Amino acid sequence: MKIGIIGAGAIGLLYAYQFSAIFPVTLYTKRMDQCKLLKEKGITLMENNSPAMNRKVQVKHISDMVKLEDDVILVAVKQYALHEIMPHLMGLNKEQSVLFLQNGMGHLDLAGRINDARPLIGVVEHGVKKLDDVTIIWTGKGMTKVAPLRKDCMDKQFLTLWEEGLEDCFPVQTRDNHKIMLTEKLIVNAIINPLTTLYRVKNGQLVHNRFYKNAMITLYEEISFLIEEEKKGEVWNHVLNVCRNTAENWSSMQRDIENGRRTEVEAILGYVIFSAKEQGKKVPLTEFIYTSIKGLEENYLYTPELRIEEER
């Protein structure tokens, strides 16, 4: 079973490295210089207190992605980059599967346009940091949760091979309801990512600092309309556990700001605000935090040259 991975950021590199232990993997990169480096050096994975390990996978530039012939395609680009990828995914056939690994829930509409292939939705609970174009640090081991977008599109063969082949080091858990699964992850992302970015702290500081924790509580109370009343206590405990289990991690949004990349605030808080308006809810704190993150993007990310390039 051949696996194609679109996107060579931290998540794409981690999955390419892990899957290469049991699958033939092709990694599709956007930048030609990264493509060349990966062909020469492979992927280096570092863990705390462990020696670096290296594996090589097949690497192609995204321009070679004219026709995707892989059995399963993992889409590991940020949500705002999906529109560039969708034309390639629309040409897949019924024997192929597509696993979306984006934060937020804005990608569900795009995934729903895929009729011929089997669309799967994934939630990533690993902590991973990209050091350079070929090197990543696995900062927090978690699991991947996968659910079908539609009841008839679960790829049992792929998931069974994944579960049996990587159970000890890179586990997967299947879920029936993708919306419940994504909403739980959305709540986690909506609290941890923007608050750590605004306060410029690691995840663990949100629970160790009583003022930051109070902010978490207030934000959670405001956005918890997204989940059922009886699950609110369970999901809040999950948020706290994620903070504790990834205490030494910098959130992906914080890293995006510091490295001059766009954040996924639109897909996360933007979706919360949209849902609140649909349900007639007021979310002033969420709107304030959303605007603050957009302000950081405006000040620190976009030079006049980048604005001109984006407008093109």
For the entire predicted model, the pTM comes to 0.86
Contact 176, 146 (CB under 8 A): no
Instruction: Give residue 302's pLDDT.
Output: 57
Q: Is 185 a catalytic residue?
A: yes
CA-to-CA distance for 149 and 118, rounded, in angstroms?
Answer: 8
| The 3-state secondary structure of 62-108, one letter per residue | HHHCCCCCCCEEEECCCHHHHHHHHHHHCCCCCCCEEEECCCCCCCH
pLDDT at 172: 96
Rounded distance between C-alpha atoms, residue 225 and residue 234, angstroms: 14
Q: What local confidence, expressed as pLDDT, does residue 301 receive? A: 66
pLDDT at residue number 185 = 92
Distance of CA 208 to the CA centre of its chain: 25
- The C-alpha atoms of residue 74 and residue 76 are separated, in whole angstroms, by 6
- Confidence (pLDDT) at 142: 86
Q: How many C-beta atoms lie closer than 10 Å to residue 173's C-beta?
A: 14
Q: Single out the residue of 35, 48, 114, 115 nearest to residue 75, CA to CA.
A: 114
Query: Which residues does 176 contact at the CB level (< 8 Å), separation at least 6?
Result: 147
CA pair distance 190, 196, nearest whole angstrom: 11
> pLDDT tens digits for the chain (312 residues)?
999 999 999 999 999 999 999 999 999 999 999 999 999 999 999 997 788 899 999 999 988 676 899 999 999 999 889 998 998 899 899 999 999 999 888 889 899 999 889 999 999 988 898 999 999 999 888 899 999 999 888 999 999 999 999 998 999 999 999 999 999 999 999 999 999 999 999 999 999 999 999 999 999 999 999 999 999 999 999 999 999 988 888 999 998 998 888 899 999 999 999 999 999 999 999 999 999 999 999 887 655 444 434 433
Q: What is the model's pLDDT at position 312?
A: 30
Determine the Cα–Cα distance for residues 29 and 36; give it in Å rounded to an integer: 10
Of the listed 39, 185, 232, 294, which one is catalytic? 185
Residue 147: closest CA among 182, 116, 117, 112: 182
